[in-house]
Amino acid sequence: MKACKIGILGATGAVGQEMLKVLEEYQIPVSELRPLASARSAGGCVRFCGRDVKIQEATDDSFGGLDFVLGAVEGDMSQRFAPAIKKSGAVYIDNSSAFRLDPEVPLVVPEINGEDAFANKGVIANPNCCTIIALMAVAGIARLSPIDNMVVCTYQAVSGAGQNGIRELEGQMSAIAAGEKPEVKTFAAQIALNVIPFIDAPYGNDYTKEEMKMQNEGRRILHAPELKVNCTCVRVPVMRSHSIAVTLRTQRKVPVEEAKSALRAFPGVRLIEDYQGRCYPTPLDTTDQDLVWVGRIREDLTDDRGLTLWCCGDQIRKGAASNAVQILRLLAERG
């Protein structure tokens, strides 16, 4: 792999910082790193490979000469800068939701549909974090027999709402321990010692936008345009790593042992059968690494072609930063 010139749009945020960390961990050869952020952050530094790299203000002229730009900004900012990135000749790998359902933009999880990345026209979209984690857990089974439908329930860590989510849980736990009333600002209800079964804005069909992403994005990634997904997204008082329960129905019956064999062989997945005396992972097990851990694979008692499983994955890494860097690596390795 030749050395790449890489920009990170949103380099000071949580995902941007994780992208820097993953680039270094993966030993991606970088001939130039260009951290880009708002004017407020310009002039500061990020740490990369043992040295300080100065942050530049993101403008339309920031992308000249780059090979890749990793996007770690919100959708409106992504749409704002995407034309300039494309014009510069760089490939834009975007972590926001701005382009995920655009038919002209590949939506990619490298282990599942990596070949789609090579059909890009300058922009590649990173899927939603829960979509990545859940599909990593079921993709091996889908290769045995196409999936007709899934019932999914996500249990999402507060860090999915950014630093404010983390601070709110920490603050509420401290208040409770001190006998004080917890302050509620970031979430719609107290999250400490509680769960909130509503994430993101309403979609218009009594589901939320977050819940519909599993179906809408899953269809594109699995190349399954008729896939149906019933999803409920729940915020839970966990700091990091999302957990997901999935019940799926395949076109032919897939025995449990056949499904387990497929999961053992699937890249990026760790099948949990006996881990510290458990047959299941927890969020803490999967924090700060890139594998999706899968356990509790069993027959669905309501459908003879159904399987049920439990999975956990770090939504900041595999669910965001690492998946984007893996797309970059896939493209760079082929030149």
Q: Quick one: DSSP state of residue 181?
A: P
Within 10 Å of residue 81's Cβ, how many Cβ atoms? 23
Q: Are 6 and 23 in contact (CB under 8 A)?
A: yes
Burial label for 125, CB within 10 Å (0-12, 13-18, 19+), is buried
Within 10 Å of residue 65's Cβ, how many Cβ atoms? 11
In degrees, rounded to 5, the angle at the alpha carbon of residue 284 between the alpha carbons of residues 278 and 288 is 125
Residue 293 structure tokens: 């851990």
What is the C-alpha to C-alpha distance for residues 237 and 192, in angstroms, rounded to an integer? 6
Active-site annotation holder among 4, 130, 242, 311: 242
223 given a catalytic annotation: no
What is the C-alpha to C-alpha distance for residues 34 and 55, in angstroms, rounded to an integer? 7
Q: Are 28 and 325 in contact (CB under 8 A)?
A: yes
Active-site annotation holder among 4, 129, 233, 312: 129
- Residue type (1 letter), 84: A
Tracing tokens 């002209």 back to the chain, one arrives at 104
Q: Which residues contact 87 (CB under 8 A, 6 or more apart)?
A: none
What is the C-alpha to C-alpha distance for residues 271 and 263, in angstroms, rounded to an integer? 6
242 given a catalytic annotation: yes
Which phi and psi angles does 174 have, rounded to 5°? Answer: -65, -40
State the first-to-last Cα distance of the chain, in angstroms, to the nearest integer: 7
Q: How many CA atoms lie within 13 A of 117 on its CB side?
A: 28
Q: How many CA atoms lie within 13 A of 85 on its CB side?
A: 26
- Residue type (1 letter), 201: A
- Which are the catalytic amino acids? 129, 242
